[in-house]
Amino acid sequence: MTGTDVINAYETAGLKEGWFFGLAFKEGYVLGRVARKEPVSMEYDRVYTVGGAPALVPGNFFVPFNQLQDATGRILFGANRGRGIGGLANHLYHLFVGISPSDARMWLRYPLSVPRWNLDSKPITPGPGGDNTYGFLDGNISPYNNPSLQSELVIPNWADWEVAFLNDSQAARFLKIKVVGWRYYVRILKPSSNGKVNDQRCIDKIKANRVPVRLMTMGGVEPMTFDGFPSWNVNPIDIFADDSDAQSTQGGE
């Protein structure tokens, strides 16, 4: 690194090889360890298409919720990737999203149909005729070339997410996003079963706060339900006797 190198905010949030992590689901935590990692970067200009090609978004136009897709209709960063392909079930995406232009607005539903960045007293209802004044990120909050920590997404191989957009301008414009982060190959820790020790000693150390672990929320405050993806062959566990004592620290060796 030279004196002219700039570290983007999201780069400080990445996990390193060997770090432990805990994915927080409604039923509890799934624990694992990063075995390998590589960077991910994709510029996505198919926010709005006409005849299958990227197109200008009309002024003050709301682009409905949809998953990111390529020109063939293949879902990107979604649950259909890697199904039936050996080894990909243990891939985990850790992503951040930058938005352009700066005043373009993006809403998130993760998993599908579950709105994020919500308010307890006023559920999000974006769309034509809806309330488009909150519950979004825009390019001022999460710039295209420097996605913010607020845009963080942690996506296992069996989960789906979708986004909607508003061109908050009178003029027709191209809207686009940049998705950056990492793809991890992870090893899921499995509690003892049938008399086998498996990873129980490591799990016990994490529960006793003797091993640093990075805790990451799956979805948002309304936690995702773990659907028991067979390839993981594990059930979420309660790693804290009292959730009020839960502490999240930087993962470690």
* Predicted confidence (pLDDT) at residue 209 exceeds the cutoff of 60: yes
* Degrees, nearest 5: CA angle 82-91-227: 80
Comparison of pLDDT for 196 and 23, the residue scoring more = 23
pLDDT at 232: 81
Average pLDDT score over residue span 128-133: 91
Q: Count CA within 13 A, CB hemisphere, residue 104.
A: 31
137 vs 214: CA distance, rounded Å: 24
Question: Whole-angstrom distance between the N-terminal and C-terminal Cα of the chain?
Answer: 23
Contacts of 252 (CB under 8 A, 6+ apart): 19, 20, 211, 212
Lowest average pLDDT, out of 110-124, 168-182, 222-236, goes to 222-236
pLDDT at 85: 44
* Predicted confidence (pLDDT) at residue 132 exceeds the cutoff of 50: yes
- Looking at the domain assignment, is residue 163 inside a domain? yes
Cα dihedral across residues 221, 125, 59, 72: positive or negative:
positive
pLDDT at 245: 44
- Looking at the domain assignment, is residue 18 inside a domain? yes
* Digit-coded pLDDT (tens) for 46-94: 999 999 999 999 999 999 999 999 999 888 887 755 444 445 778 899 9
- Looking at the domain assignment, is residue 175 inside a domain? yes
Calculate what percentage of the chain has a pLDDT beyond 90: 63
pLDDT at 197: 62
Give the neighbor-by-neighbor strand order of the sheet with 176-188: 153-156, 91-100, 176-188, 28-44, 20-25, 214-217
- Looking at the domain assignment, is residue 118 inside a domain? yes
Closest CA to 97 of 161, 174, 158, 6: 161
Average pLDDT score over residue span 179-183: 96
* Degrees, nearest 5: CA angle 47-96-73: 35
pLDDT at 54: 97
Q: 53 lies in which domain range?
A: 9-245
* Predicted confidence (pLDDT) at residue 250 exceeds the cutoff of 60: no
Lowest average pLDDT, out of 9-13, 40-44, 106-110, 225-229, goes to 225-229
CA-to-CA separations, 20 to 15, 133, 155, 210, 226, in angstroms, rounded: 9, 38, 16, 12, 19
Helices (H), the chain: 200-207
- What total of structural domains would you count in the chain? 1
* Degrees, nearest 5: CA angle 105-110-113: 90
pLDDT at 113: 87
At residue 117 the predicted structure's pLDDT band, cuts being 50, 70 and 90, is very high
Encode burial over 20-36: b for 16+ CB neighbours within 10 A, e otherwise: bbbbbbeebbbbbbbee
The alpha carbon of 189 is separated from its chain's Cα centroid by a whole number of angstroms, namely: 21
- Looking at the domain assignment, is residue 228 inside a domain? yes
- Looking at the domain assignment, is residue 3 inside a domain? no
Encode burial over 129-153: b for 16+ CB neighbours within 10 A, e otherwise: eeebeebbbbbebbbbebbbeebbb
- Looking at the domain assignment, is residue 251 inside a domain? no
pLDDT at 213: 95
- Looking at the domain assignment, is residue 231 inside a domain? yes
